[in-house]
Amino acid sequence: MSVAYQQMSAFKSSTSWGNDSPFRVVRSNSTNTRNRSARWVSPKAAVIPNFHLPMRSFEVKNRTSTDEIKSLRLITAIKTPYLPDGRFDLEAYDALVNMQIENGADGVIVGGTTGEGQLMSWDEHIMLIGHTINCFGTSIKVIGNTGSNSTREAIHATEQGFAVGMHAALHINPYYGKTSLEGLISHFKCVLPMGPTIIYNVPTRTGQDIPPTIIHSLSSNPNLAGIKECMGHNRIQIYTQTNITTWSGNDDECHDSRWDHGATGVISVASNLVPGLMRELMFEGKNLSLNLKLLPLMKWLFCEPNPIGLNTALAQLGVVRPIFRLPYVPLPLEKRVEFVEIVKGIGRENFIGEKDVQVLDDDEFILVGRY
């Protein structure tokens, strides 16, 4: 008899009607049957044995150690550019990734919030991860955002992502339909067996903080590479003091997190635009003047929810077409004028691309609702 059959048989037995039924007839002391009543009694939770084996490969070409992921300092949450009909502009995307490689980024997050994974079908999502690893996997680490608020979707997407060769997965906690703390642990335990994993904590988007107790309870798992943390310096220091690898998720805090609070590095939006300067900020020691120089750009990028600012900036630099998948729309004219001045202040030579920065007219932007 197979193990799976035995486990399923045990599960069926545990859920059969009987003494553990959630509805029990409770008889009163009276012999009068009219006093008989049905009372709901909380059942014991049935734990379904996990008889599914992880779908993974240990072939050398697919193997990336968790320690390799832990060593990355500058990881860019890469932008996904579009063609006029809303499909991916792979030529522009390839140019963006190449510029990251040339300017010293260690890794890219594919299909994250910045890359608009939330606006992709899973087919698009996995295709882009596969395309990135196929074209650039020997030059830069490719981390696929395969997280979801559905554990089933997160498992399936992560299996597919590792099957097409991604080096690591990025996982967010279930958002909107939030779960309990015990549910968080169970959710992450379902995806950790598949390969190196970064957990992402951004309560402003998910509506739920991942407290340190959760991360500490998962820290013994050999596939936990670390956490992308957006809750500030103090939270980062809690992890670094216990040897948990942590990346700042906030560009405007990453310099101090790196040099004063022990963060390994940053998972950055700004590095889409100035990868060379962000590498300098993460690798070359404390540099208050450079950090101060970049702060206006970092704050401008988040004047509206990310990735609105980044999409607008890349279009103004002429490195992507000015095309937005709705519901994102470009920043207004006054903010686009402000960006031109920011570029001049930092120096056009420090930004990606070779074209002069432009303001762009409103009618030059294309908004795509069906894609």
Is 44 in the active site?
no
Is 200 in the active site?
yes
- The one catalytic residue in 228, 286, 299, 335 is 228
d(CA 219, CA 188): 11
Helix (H, G, I), strand (E, B) or coil at 336: helix
d(CA 11, CA 7): 6
d(CA 327, CA 335): 19
> Residue 93: which of 85, 81, 77 has the closest Cα?
81
Query: Is 221 exposed, middle or buried (CB count within 10 Å of its CB: 0-12, 13-18, 19+)?
Result: middle
- The one catalytic residue in 82, 93, 200, 239 is 200
- Between the two ends of the chain, the Cα-to-Cα distance in Å is 50
Q: How many other C-beta atoms are found inside a 10 Å radius of the C-beta of residue 292?
A: 10
d(CA 353, CA 289): 24
Q: Give the residue numbers annotated as catalytic, written as ranges.
A: 200, 228
